[in-house]
């Protein structure tokens, strides 16, 4: 996985690596230690008690009674200003405008905390591809030739082999396919090693999963999902946010919340006139 800084992470270089290289990059220097500490403290507070929150790719953990060792914190925009700063960082916004189109949106911003002993996840691809183990439920010819997802992981605890740094298969984004047991993912995967404050940006069709946390410390990350403007988001963030947040939102946050894109719309009640086209 290639590494970049805030200064060297140019959109052209990153997009080429996401599409034609490993499918994932690491960027350092985007966030201060204070921002990372603030985000981690909020997440720890909201995940202190084991709770029944929806999660994904944890079937084996649920069957073995260890699903409580992975804890999700959803709707992060409502839980601290630091998460808006992370979601709309100018370096990320510039890259994502190139990758997903200038009017891209955010589909989810959540935390994934894996406690010591957490067994990790099954190898998978991310929303909206995440149920591609049922390919018949998607359109014929569906492929990865243009991106409908970008994922950002803001690392809050050391991501090491021992702590279960995200495993991924370099180059697997070049063919849209759900990984199977025959792919022997765990035998050949690389891992997204990083320090608190590092950001991993990857194309969500890259095969990946959280690996088992065999360390003595938590493994926390902020997970941000970005989508083209016309893909239905995974989280209904505007519905979960107070009106005061929406009223005060910056232009970038309004874009990320999908507030600039009117559809679906009750067109029978919409303002009269021509709404689309060159003239």
pLDDT by 10s per residue, the chain, length 279: 999 999 999 999 999 999 999 999 999 999 999 999 999 999 999 988 765 554 664 555 556 566 678 889 999 999 999 999 999 999 999 999 999 999 999 999 999 999 999 988 899 999 999 999 999 999 999 999 999 999 999 999 999 999 999 999 999 999 999 999 999 999 999 999 999 999 999 999 999 999 999 999 999 999 999 999 999 999 999 999 999 999 999 999 999 999 999 899 898 898 888 888 887
Contact 219, 164 (CB under 8 A): yes
151-183: b (≥16 Cβ within 10 Å) or e: bbbbbbbbbbeebbbbbbbeebbeebbbbeeeb
The pTM score is 0.92
Q: Which CATH superfamily is domain 2-269 in?
A: q2cbj1_9rhob like domain (2.60.120.620)
Sheet hosting strand 199-202, strand order edge to edge: 2-5, 24-28, 199-202, 150-155, 219-227, 105-114, 70-73
């Amino acid at each position: 996985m290639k590494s970049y800084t805030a200064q060297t992470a140019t959109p052209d270089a990153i997009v080429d690596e996401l599409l034609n290289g490993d499918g994932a990059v690491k960027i350092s220097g985007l966030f201060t230690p204070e921002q990372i500490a603030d985000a981690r403290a909020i997440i720890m507070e909201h995940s202190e008690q084991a709770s029944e929150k929806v999660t994904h790719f944890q079937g084996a953990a649920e069957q073995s009674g260890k699903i409580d060792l992975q804890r999700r914190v959803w709707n992060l925009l409502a839980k601290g200003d630091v998460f808006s700063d992370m979601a709309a960082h100018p370096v990320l916004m510039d890259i994502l405008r190139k990758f997903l189109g200038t009017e891209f949106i955010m589909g989810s911003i959540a935390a994934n905390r894996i406690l010591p002993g957490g067994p990790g996840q099954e190898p998978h691809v991310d929303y909206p591809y995440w149920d591609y183990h049922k390919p018949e439920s998607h359109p014929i010819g569906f492929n990865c030739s243009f991106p409908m997802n970008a994922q950002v992981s803001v690392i809050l605890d050391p991501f090491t082999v021992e702590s279960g740094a995200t495993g991924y298969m370099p180059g697997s984004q070049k063919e849209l396919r759900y990984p199977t047991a025959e792919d022997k993912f765990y035998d050949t995967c690389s891992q997204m090693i990083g320090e608190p404050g590092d950001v991993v940006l990857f194309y969500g069709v890259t095969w990946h999963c959280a690996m088992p946390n065999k360390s003595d410390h938590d493994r926390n990350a902020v997970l941000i999902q970005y989508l083209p403007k016309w893909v239905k988001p995974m989280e209904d963030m505007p519905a979960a946010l107070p009106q005061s947040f929406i009223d005060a939102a910056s232009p970038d946050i309004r874009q990320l919340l999908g507030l600039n894109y009117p559809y679906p719309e009750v067109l029978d009640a919409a303002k009269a006139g021509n709404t689309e086209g060159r003239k």
